[in-house]
Amino acid sequence: QVQLVESGGGSVQAGGSLTLSCAASGYAFRVRTYCLGWFRQAPGKEREGVATRDFYGDTQYADSAKGRFTISKDNAKNTLYLQMNELKPEDTAMYYCAADWQYCGTGQDQYEWRHWGQGTQVTVSS
């Protein structure tokens, strides 16, 4: 089993920065290679992928995140990060980290991802 615990959310003014963390644990996580990702869901909206780090360490970003967000992983700490700069009010959402050993897409494939954290709220005020 894999456990994911997010932290680092909070309230910030537009233009500010936040770094989200996702601590991963579990035997399966240590013996398999996982695709890791950050997703978000704003009230009344569909969940969307923000950034992913695939099985080879390559990263992809949603258009809305390109140039502002950076996904990274500290292998020694088994922790995934999302550095978010130049935050905008439209970035306000619940942010979730996720992991899967088979799927890595953020479209319809996101519903196949097996492991999810509980979420951390990010609120950006104008």
Could you read off the pLDDT of 17-68 as tens digits, one per residue?
999 999 999 877 777 789 999 999 999 999 999 999 999 999 999 999 999 9
Note the pLDDT tens digit of each residue in 70-115: 999 998 899 999 999 999 999 999 999 999 999 999 988 888 999 9
> Nearest CA to 34 among 50, 53, 58?
53
For residues 58 and 35, give the distance between their C-alpha atoms in angstroms, rounded to a whole number. 10
Q: Which residues contact 79 (CB under 8 A, 6 or more apart)?
A: 21, 22, 23, 24, 73
